[in-house]
Structure 1
Amino acid sequence: MRAFKGFAAGMALALGLGIGQVATAAPAPPVAPAPHAIAAPDISLANVRAHLSQLETIARQYGGSRTAASGGYAASVSYVEQKLKAAGFTTSRQTCTSCSGQSQNLIAEWPHGDANQVIMLGAHLDSVSAGPGINDNGSGSAAILETALTLAKTNPEIAKRVRFGWWADEESGMRGSRHYVNNLPSAERSKIKAYLNFDMIASSNWGHFVYDDVASIKAVFDEYFATLNVPTEGDSEGDGRSDHASFKSAGIPVGGLATGAGDIKSAAQQRKWGGTAGAAFDNCYHRACDTLSNLKDVPMDRNSDAIAYAVWKLAGAGTTTPPGDRVFTNDTDYAITDYGTVNSAVSPTTAGAATSPVQVKITASHTCAEDLRISLTGPSGRSYPVKETGNAPCTQFGSRDFSVPVTGENAGGAWTLVVYDAYAGDTGTLDTWTLTV
């Protein structure tokens, strides 16, 4: 960080919850699916620390720092790039002509999702000359690197493009990110729907600060921290002092996380987060002691997982029909002829939670070559995994039973069933049923 400020229903049926009752759905035009996002993965703290250890080793090899014009910065770019390429990313380097030593930005984009809707993550990869810059800003750089590698490993269905940037020469005035934004054509700038910045996210006397430039983006991070019962504050210290300012000045919505730099923790903040009141959030800010031993695992782990949570949510991971999928569309090859029974220990007139799995029976005429995909969402909005109880997937598709391990769900209300399967060559639409109990 710089040291100065500058499923709507396609078919519907009414269904009582009694055992053995059967209802059929009348055909209607297919509609787009409602989102059914998957949970974000846990980001490995051990892997993040391994990246940071490598950045510290690089700094030692190049005189103790990774400044933009140095061999330490160039080696840091090479390390990150090698990891990304091994994971299947196509990377590009952009020479920043206004940066010290014309150092390079590194860009990587995961080639899935709508290319006209981009969620971008960034962190500066350079350090000051005084030290190796492991919190400032190896922490942000390593966290988004591991998020990128986890995205490649899990490869979820994804609605929007996810792009990553590691910036040169932030410490001399955010030159790398400014060069990137200024050289984007206006049409390309408009595709970036959110830029998320991570600069110093593992401070030794940490706070949990969330950029408050855009309320809707801040709310996503706050939502994650609420699941941990961890309070947050807006990040006033970082205003205008890190790479999000380059994007904000171009009219791009921004958000991000920080754990504090040279500002002093107050007594109220100590009561909120622990640590030491009257001391800097990071006593090694811009100093030689900004090493791995001064970095704290608790905020590093929390913030890494918060990054993944925000990316999976903002990019719509798990909310789209995968490319190449074809849906059952009630034609002669893909006719869903019957929606069968829903069995539950709860009667239609009894309020409360289901005490046994919901059983779903679907009868259709189909021979599949890829995976059958089914999802079920309860009245609460929670999605449940659907597991086949009979034949193996992709055999002749006749009458097959599926078990849904519903627990703690109020049976009354609208359940949404989605059925589709992989079929090469079709983009597919989605058939849904609303089951009103």
Structure 2
Amino acid sequence: MFSKKSTLSLASALLLTGTLLSPLTASAAPAATVAAPDIPVANVQAHLTNLQSIATANSGNRAHGRPGYRASIDYVKAKLDAVGFQTSLQQFTSSGATGWNLIADWPGGDPNNILMLGGHLDSVTAGPGINDNGTGSSGILEVALTVAAQQFQPAKHLRFGWWGAEELGLVGSTFYVNSLSSTEKAKIKTYLNFDMTGSPNPGYFVYAGASQPSGSVAVQQMLVDYYTSIGVQTELTEVGGRSDHAAFARAGIATGGTFAGAEVVKTAAQAAKWGGTSGVAFDRCYHRSCDTIDNVNVAALDRNTDAIAHALWTLAQGTPPPTGPKFENTADVTIPDLTTVESPITVSGVTGNAPAALAVGVDITHTYRGDLVIDLVAPDGTAFRLKSSGSDSGDDVVATYTVNASGEVANGVWKLRVQDVARQDTGRINGWSLQF
């Protein structure tokens, strides 16, 4: 800164064993808005390990104008090219040396309505810059790779940027914004910046929307609400002109982002809230040679990378905030192996049909979430697919899905249907909710 196996098909599973419920009736269901996936932190760590190796092989840094920076850019570009991004390198000169920005566009979406995410990829000359800003750069990269893996096609166009020479005064990002015509700038509706997301003594800071030029209060609140949903308190921070959002803000583009802290000392109140050590900087190795692969808090890296994904999936689909009442069922329901279970919620007192953005909150404990198929079943039996089975090897499903249920009468018994379609792993529904 100026971060189990192969699964069986549902059909095969049902042949192997009966379900707790009668067989499903096939029906066409309106598509649900896709929820943000959990981003495996191990994948982000693998990128950081590669950036460390690049720095180690290139005089210990990845700084502007040095071979380590160009090798870092080439690493990220190769990953994106391999999965179908349209990438370009933008060359500039600073301090007598050649610098590079990497721009990556995901095909599709409204080209006049762009959501852009970015962070700087360069380090200072003193060290490898693994927290600052390998963490943000690697988190953005893994989110972009997940977009490709899921073939995500949102309404908005997605663009990503990895900036050069940030450590010399935000040079790369400023060069990029200044290179755009007024028409092209106007197409970028929101820019999200992620700089230092794995600080070793971390805080959880969200860019303050109201206190900076073109800051977005809506983006700020969306991020704050996300951290609240995972049980993490946040503080707002006035990042000002210290990172790459600054040029976008000056151009009148709405900005937002997250930050885990740099050279400022953590207070006792912050340590009580977030853990860690009071009286010590959020990152003692800020701009030093010890900013290595060992200078990263994995929990913070995991949470902040999932926040990046949440922000992208939420903003790219333009999901409006809920405005109606909330109904919940907090009773536990066991999910045995190779079975189907349901949990009901009775909705009453709501006039007319359900909304076009019905929020379905799901809290499931399971030892292998790739086994699970999850549907929301409306009172008339219409099923809305929330999650399909797959090879996702993580645990649990804690997510909010958005369903266009506007064709369904609101009042009646809604059900969360969960199918375990492969052997070995089990779990339970801890609870779920409907936010009208």
TM-score greater than 0.5 by the shorter chain: yes
Q: Which residue of 2 aligns with 1:235?
A: 237
Q: Which residue of 1 aligns with 2:142?
A: 146
Q: Which residue of 1 aligns with 2:400?
A: none
Contact 1:87/1:152 (8 A) holds in 2: yes
Q: Distance in 1 between matches of 2:75 and 2:376?
A: 45
| Aligned-partner SS, 1:123 | strand
Contact 2:177/2:185 (8 A) holds in 1: yes
Q: Quick one: which amino acid aligns to residue 358 of structure 2?
A: G
Indicate how the Cα distance of structure 1 residues 285 and 194 shifts in structure 2: closer, same or farther if over 3 A, else same: same
- Out of 62, 69, 72, the position equivalent to 2:65 is 69
Q: Which residue of 2 aligns with 1:381?
A: 358
Q: Quick one: which amino acid aligns to residue 247 of structure 1?
A: F
Q: Distance in 2 between matches of 1:404 and 1:232?
A: 31
Please say which structure displays the higher CA radius of gyration.
1
Contact 1:417/1:435 (8 A) holds in 2: no
Contact 2:356/2:406 (8 A) holds in 1: no
Contact 2:64/2:97 (8 A) holds in 1: yes
Percent identical across equivalent pairs?
Answer: 47
Deviation track 1:185-237 (CA, whole Å, cap 9, x = no partner) reads: 0011011111000110100110000111321011111121111110111123x
* Superposed counterparts of 1:24-35, under 5 Å: none
Q: Which residue of 1 aligns with 2:11?
A: none
Q: Distance in 1 between matches of 2:222 and 2:143?
A: 17
Find out whether 1:311 has 2:312 as its counterpart. Answer: yes
Q: Quick one: which amino acid aligns to residue 45 of structure 1?
A: V
Q: Which residue of 2 aligns with 1:435?
A: 409
Deviation track 1:165-197 (CA, whole Å, cap 9, x = no partner) reads: 000000000000000000100011011111000
Q: Which residue of 2 aligns with 1:285?
A: 286
Q: Distance in 2 between matches of 1:255 and 1:99?
A: 29
Indicate how the Cα distance of structure 1 residues 305 and 345 shifts in structure 2: closer, same or farther if over 3 A, else same: closer
Q: Which residue of 1 aligns with 2:223?
A: 221
Q: Distance in 1 between matches of 2:357 and 2:265?
A: 43
Indicate how the Cα distance of structure 1 residues 309 and 316 shifts in structure 2: closer, same or farther if over 3 A, else same: same
Q: Distance in 2 between matches of 1:263 and 1:285?
A: 10
Find out whether 1:272 has 2:266 as its counterpart. Answer: no
Q: Distance in 2 between matches of 1:56 and 1:379?
A: 46
Tell me how far 1:112 sits from its aligned partner: 1.4
Contact 1:48/1:146 (8 A) holds in 2: yes
* Superposed counterparts of 1:349-368, under 5 Å: 352=346
Q: Distance in 2 between matches of 1:216 and 1:431?
A: 24
Q: Distance in 1 between matches of 2:316 and 2:132?
A: 27
Deviation track 1:1-22 (CA, whole Å, cap 9, x = no partner) reads: 11xxxxxxxxxxxxxxxxxxxx
Q: Distance in 2 between matches of 1:230 and 1:194?
A: 24
- Out of 176, 179, 183, the position equivalent to 2:179 is 183
Contact 1:195/1:255 (8 A) holds in 2: yes
Q: Distance in 2 between matches of 1:68 and 1:379?
A: 48
Indicate how the Cα distance of structure 1 residues 60 and 114 shifts in structure 2: closer, same or farther if over 3 A, else same: same
| Aligned-partner SS, 1:295 | coil
Indicate how the Cα distance of structure 1 residues 345 and 312 shifts in structure 2: closer, same or farther if over 3 A, else same: closer
Tell me how far 1:121 sits from its aligned partner: 0.5
Contact 1:107/1:166 (8 A) holds in 2: yes
Tell me how far 1:435 sits from its aligned partner: 2.7
Contact 2:354/2:410 (8 A) holds in 1: no
Find out whether 1:43 has 2:39 as its counterpart. Answer: yes
Q: Distance in 1 between matches of 2:356 and 2:114?
A: 31
Q: Distance in 2 between matches of 1:128 and 1:431?
A: 51
Q: Quick one: which amino acid aligns to residue 223 of structure 2?
A: F
Q: Distance in 1 between matches of 2:343 and 2:82?
A: 51
Contact 1:202/1:299 (8 A) holds in 2: yes
| Aligned-partner SS, 1:72 | helix
* Superposed counterparts of 1:67-106, under 5 Å: 67-98=63-94, 101-106=97-102
Q: Distance in 2 between matches of 1:404 and 1:55?
A: 38
Q: Which residue of 1 aligns with 2:299?
A: 298
| Aligned-partner SS, 1:103 | strand
| Aligned-partner SS, 2:258 | strand
Q: Distance in 2 between matches of 1:163 and 1:134?
A: 23
Contact 1:377/1:416 (8 A) holds in 2: no
Q: Which residue of 1 aligns with 2:257?
A: 256
Find out whether 1:212 has 2:201 as its counterpart. Answer: no
Indicate how the Cα distance of structure 1 residues 212 and 100 shifts in structure 2: closer, same or farther if over 3 A, else same: farther
Contact 1:203/1:260 (8 A) holds in 2: yes
Tell me how far 1:436 sits from its aligned partner: 5.3
Indicate how the Cα distance of structure 1 residues 434 and 167 shifts in structure 2: closer, same or farther if over 3 A, else same: same
Q: Distance in 2 between matches of 1:300 and 1:404?
A: 28
Q: Which residue of 1 aligns with 2:433?
A: none
RMSD over aligned Cα, in angstroms? 3.3
Q: Please, what TM-score do these two structures have when normalized by structure 1?
A: 0.68
Q: Distance in 1 between matches of 2:218 and 2:113?
A: 17
| Aligned-partner SS, 2:358 | coil
Q: Quick one: which amino acid aligns to residue 193 of structure 1?
A: K
Contact 2:358/2:405 (8 A) holds in 1: no
Q: Distance in 2 between matches of 1:96 and 1:155?
A: 32
* Superposed counterparts of 1:414-425, under 5 Å: none
Contact 1:415/1:434 (8 A) holds in 2: no
Structure 1 gap ranges (5+): 3-33, 320-343, 355-375, 386-402, 420-429
| Aligned-partner SS, 1:165 | strand
Structure 2 gap ranges (5+): 3-29, 210-215, 321-341, 363-372, 386-403, 412-436
Tell me how far 1:98 sits from its aligned partner: 3.9
